[in-house]
Structures are given as C-alpha cells and as structure tokens.
Amino acid sequence: MIRSVIIACGVVLATMISLAIEAPHKGVPYGNGDAPSTIAQEPTKSVKAGVYTAAQAGRGETLFQSQCASCHAPNRFTDDLFYMSFAGKPLWEMYDVISDTMPEDNPGSLKPQEYADVITYLLKLNKFPEGQDELPPTKEVLSTIKMEKP
C-alpha cells in the first residue's frame, strides 16, 4: 500500500514537472505557436549601477514623508529584513509588492511613477549610487535590474 502511494506521488510529481517545463509562460508572446519566442530573462543590471537620479530620489523622499512616514520609519527600509526580502530579485518584485499593498489605507492609489520614485528613495537610503537616468515604472525595465546588497 505504501509503495503504491509513493509510486503514485512520483508519477504526479513527474507529470507536474513536465507540464511546468512545457507549459507556455503567462503573458509571453509566441512566434509560430510551438514555443515561447521570448522567455523572462534574468536581471542583467544591478542597483549598484546608478539606476535613478538625485531629483527622482528627492521626489521619492517627499512622497515617502507624505504617504508612508505616518506608518513606516525610513530606517525600517535599511535593515537586513528589508534587504533579504528582495535580495537577488528583480526590482520589479519590490515595485509589485509596494504598488499592490501601499499606502495601507488605499493600496494602489499612487501613480506608477510615484511608486518608482519612492523606490528610488529607498535605494538612496541604502546608499546605492545615483545615475544619469530616472528609474521608470515599467515591468520590462524593472525586471532587468537586480536588487543587491549595498
């Protein structure tokens, strides 16, 4: 009986793995209909490369003070717990979490660029360098930028 259950579990697991490998990725455009023409890529740039401007981080700080500071202290976003939540992940994941859940009393109420601006303030708090270009609020760009330890 136990052997039958183990074999059945193995078959189910093998089937799930093969389906996951062969299944098309959600939202991925297709070329000839047989396979995905593009696959989500790993981040190719680091937050250490200067992915925001000083002016943008200034706007982010202003927004943080008006929208976030009543519930969140800035130092809450410079500790290991904050870093570990996003370490090695695309910056899109941070954007997605913040834009889906904040402000707590009205999630999703800021404009996309405002969420990106707040993220640049968090990057500045963590002493990541400024750059020449503003951080855009697009999934395509934010998915290519990796969160790393300062």
pLDDT for the residue numbered 32:
35
Collapse the DSSP code of 71 into the 3-class scheme (helix H, G, I; strand E, B; otherwise coil) and give the result.
coil
Name 4's Cβ contacts closer than 8 Å, sequence gap at least 6. none
Q: What would the two tokens of residue 101 be?
A: 């859940």
Report phi then psi at 149, rounded to 5: -70, 135
At 8, the pLDDT band (50, 70, 90 cuts) reads very low
Residue with tokens 């981080």: 57
Nearest to 77 by CA among 119, 43, 112, 135: 119
Question: Whole-model pTM above 0.85?
Answer: no
